[in-house]
Structure 1
Amino acid sequence: MKGLTRRTALIGAAGAVTAPAAVSMATPASADTATTTASAEGRQAVSGPNAVLRTDLVTRVTPRNNWLVTAVAIQYAHRIDLRGVEIPASAFQVMATVGGRTAARTVTRAYTNTAAAVDDRTHPGRPGTHLIVELDPDDPNARAAGTDPLPLDRAYSVRQVADVRTPGGEPVLEAGAFASRNDGVISPVVDDFIACSFTDSTGFELDFRLYRPEGFTQHPQTRTRYPLVVTLHGGGEVADNNMTQLTGNRVAVTFAKPERQRRDPAFVLAPQIPLPRPMDGPDGTDWTDAEVQAALSELVDTFVSEHSRNVDKARLYLVGLSSGGRGIYSLLAKRPDVFAAALPTAGWGDQATMEKITHIPMWADHSIDDPVVPYREGRFGKPGTWTLMNALEAAGAHVSRGEWANDLPKAQFEARSRALLRQARAADSHVLFTSYTAGTTPVNPHFAWAQTYENDVVIDWLFDQSR
C-alpha cells in the first residue's frame, strides 16, 4: 500500500484511539433501572405476573431499499410459558407516530422468545421473558427512515387488549389498561457496525461504518487474516448521518449477517459520501468526485496498513450499486492491482478504461429496462453495463453472459446463477454478466440489486477470489 505523505486520522476502528460510537437509534435504558408509570401513555406498572420491564422496536433492512420496523419486543419481569397456547394477533394493539401522524400498525403474529429477537421459524415460540409482536412490513407507516433515520424514540405504543388463556380458561397473559412506549430500537446486524470517521492527508473527512469479524473482536491479538469487503452505496444514500449506507439497502449488511460471517468471516467497511451536494462528480452524488475518491482510496490503504496482521491483502473486494457501481469501474481502473474481485450492479463508466481491468474477476448485473442508469447508454454520456462488458471483451477479457427474470424465487434464481458460473468456468472466464429481463425487477427496474446480495452463489464466488 502507498505511504502517506501527511498525517491521517482513523477514528473508531479497532486499534484506534476512540471507543466505538453508539449504533442504536435510541439508547435503551437498563432493565434494572426500569421505572413505574401510571398513565395510558406510560409503561405498565412493574408489578404482578405481567410486569413489563421494557419495550423495544425491532427493525430489518430489506432487499427492496427499505429499512422497516418489523416487530415490537416486550420484556416481562417473569418468564412466560404459553403451554401450547397460540396468541391471537388481535390480542395486541400497536400504534405508531411517524412523521407527525399516528396510525395503527397491523399485528401479524405474537409469540414468546428468550431474547428481543424475531424468530423466522414457521412455528416460533420458546418460553422466555420476551414477547415478540410481529408487524406487517407492508404497512404504509412501517418505514424507519427516509434519507435520514426517522425519530423513533417513544414513537410506538403497544397495549394488550385481550386476555390470553389456556383451553381450560387459566390466564397466561392478562390484558391491561396501560400501553407501553418503546424504550429503544434494536437493529440486528446494523447494530454490529461501529461508527467511525477518517480524515485524509488533505483534511477531507469521510465517515464510515465498520464491521469486525467475531474472531477478531474476541481475540484482538490474533494473527488470523480476514478478507476486507468495501461497499459503495448509491446516490440515494449520500448524507451526513453515517447510517443510510447500511440501511438504504442490503449491501453492507449482507456481508455482516451471522450466517454469512459463519461461512466467510470478513471485515466490512461501508463509507458514506457526505453532503453538501453537488460535488465535483458529474451528477454530484458519486464516487468519482476527486476528493471523495482520493479519501476512499487513502482510507482503504490506511485501514489495511493499521490492520496488517489481520487483513488478507490478497482478498480485498469492492462491491457497489448504481453510482457505487460507477465508482467500482473508476477505482479499479486507477488501482488495478489492489482488489481481488468486484460486484458492480446497475453501474456505468468509461469504455476507454476497461482495458486496464481485464484481469480482475467481476460479476456485473443490470436490468435491461433500467430507466435511471440505462443498460446500454448509462448516464452523462458514459455507457451502461452492457456497453462496458462489450468493451472488456474487445480488450481481451472473456465475458460469460446470462439473462433471466429478476423476480424468480431464490432457489430458481440461484440455479440460473450456478449454471452461468459453470459456463464461465468451462470457458476459463473470470468476468460474468447477468442481465435481467425487462419487466421482471420488482418495485423499480433500477433496483437490480435486490436479489444480487441475497444470492449465495454470487457471494460464494466473490469470496473464492484471491489476487
Structure 2
Amino acid sequence: MKKIALLLVLPCLLLSWTGLQAQQFELFEKHSFVQGSDTLPYRVLLPENYDASKKYPLVLFLHGAGERGSDNEKQLTHGAALFLQKENRSQFPAIVVFPQCSRASFWSNVKISSDENGRRFDFEDGGTPTVAMKLVMGLLEQLMVQYPIQKKQVYVMGLSMGGMGTFELVNRKPDLFAAAVPICGGANPIIAKNLKSVKWWVFHGAKDDVVPPKYSEAMVTAMKSQKVDVKFTLYPETNHNSWDATFAEPELLPWLFSCKRK
C-alpha cells in the first residue's frame, strides 16, 4: 500500500515542481531584439528590488544547440534556475539575460562533421559572424544603454554551442567582459592571444562524447601559453552534461562576481 501511495504522490509532486519552476521562470521578462529583418528573442531577470538609479553587473548566458528556436522559453532550460535561487539573487544582484538562437543559426563559426574518431569541430578564427552572433552583439550594445550596467562587471557564460559562442564573443568583444565561463565548448586555439584581458573558468566532462574535451583542453593550453588568466575544471566521470556539476560549484558565482575590469 505504501508503494502504491508513493506512486500516486510522485506524479503530483513532479507536476507541482514543474509548475513552480515555470512560475519562477516567469520572473525572466520576455523581450525581442530586432535588427534589420532578423529577430532575437531574449529573457531578462532583473534584481530583486530593482533600482534604476543603481548600477548592476550584467550576465549574458548562451544556451546549447538543443534549446534553439523562437519560443523564447527553451533557452532557460539549463542555467536559469541558478540565478533564481533566493540566496544567489540576494547575494549577487545582477541583470541576467538569456537570448535564444534560431534553429537556422549557431552562436559561433564552426563546421561539425564526424569521422572514425567521433565528432569533429573545425572552428574559424574570425570571419563574418553568424546571424545569431550579430544579433547578440547588437543586443549587448542595446542593453548597455537601456539598463544601468556596471561596465566593470559584464560577464558571459555558455554551454556546449553556447560555450563555443562564449569563446567567440569574447574574441570579437575583448574589451567588454570581465570574466567568461565556457562549459563543454571549444574554439580555434589561435584566438587565445585575443583573450588576455578577461578572466576565465573553463569546464568540461572527461567522458564527453558530444563535444570531446580535447577542444577545451586545446584552448586552455593555448591560453596558458599566452599568459591568459584561466582556470580549468575537468570532471573525470562526466559526459556532456558537465553544466550540472558546474552550476553546483559553490565558488562559481563568488568567483564570477569578484572579477572586475580595471
TM-score higher than 0.5 here? yes
* 2:217 is the counterpart of 1:386: yes
Q: Match of 2:212, SS? A: coil
- Identity over aligned pairs, percent: 28
User: 2:176 & 2:44 partners in 1: Cα distance?
Assistant: 20
Runs of 4+ in structure 1 off by over 3 angstroms are 88-92, 276-281
Structure with more relative contact order (C-alpha pairs < 8 Å, separation 6 or more): 2
Conserved in 2, the CA contact under 8 Å of 1:326 and 1:348? yes
Match of 2:118 in 1: none
Residues 318 and 91 (structure 1), Cα distance of their counterparts in 2 relative to 1, 3 Å cut: same
Name which of 55, 59, 79 aligns with 1:229: 59
RMSD: 2.8
Residues 187 and 89 (structure 1), Cα distance of their counterparts in 2 relative to 1, 3 Å cut: farther
Conserved in 1, the CA contact under 8 Å of 2:224 and 2:230? no
Conserved in 1, the CA contact under 8 Å of 2:154 and 2:177? yes
* 2:143 is the counterpart of 1:303: yes
Residue 239 of structure 1 deviates from its aligned partner by 1.2
Conserved in 2, the CA contact under 8 Å of 1:281 and 1:290? no
Equivalent residues in 2 for 1:10-21 (5 A)? none
Match of 1:462 in 2: 256
Equivalent residues in 2 for 1:277-426 (5 A)? 282-283=111-112, 290-307=130-147, 310-376=148-214, 384-397=215-228
Conserved in 2, the CA contact under 8 Å of 1:106 and 1:135? no
Q: Which has the larger radius of gyration?
A: 1
Conserved in 1, the CA contact under 8 Å of 2:171 and 2:195? yes
* 1:286-345 superposed Cα distances (whole Å, 9 cap, x missing partner): 9x95211111011011011122xx211111110011110100111111110001101111
User: 2:112 & 2:54 partners in 1: Cα distance?
Assistant: 41
Conserved in 2, the CA contact under 8 Å of 1:342 and 1:363? yes
* 1:126-164 superposed Cα distances (whole Å, 9 cap, x missing partner): xxxxxxx52499xxxx9x7xxxxxxxxxxxxxxxxxxxx
Residue 275 of structure 1 deviates from its aligned partner by 2.8
Which amino acid letter does the alignment assign opposite residue 458 of structure 1?
Answer: L
Conserved in 2, the CA contact under 8 Å of 1:228 and 1:268? yes
- Structure 2 residue runs of 5 or longer lacking an equivalent are 114-122
Q: Match of 1:239, SS? A: coil
Which amino acid letter does the alignment assign opposite residue 317 of structure 1?
Answer: Y
Match of 2:73 in 1: 243
- Structure 1 residue runs of 5 or longer lacking an equivalent are 1-87, 93-104, 110-132, 145-183, 377-383, 398-429
Which amino acid letter does the alignment assign opposite residue 134 of structure 1?
Answer: L
User: 2:166 & 2:258 partners in 1: Cα distance?
Assistant: 19
* 2:22 is the counterpart of 1:193: no
Residues 188 and 283 (structure 1), Cα distance of their counterparts in 2 relative to 1, 3 Å cut: farther
User: 1:106 & 1:355 partners in 2: Cα distance?
Assistant: 58
Residue 450 of structure 1 deviates from its aligned partner by 0.6
User: When the two structures are aligned, how many residues end up with a matched partner?
Assistant: 246
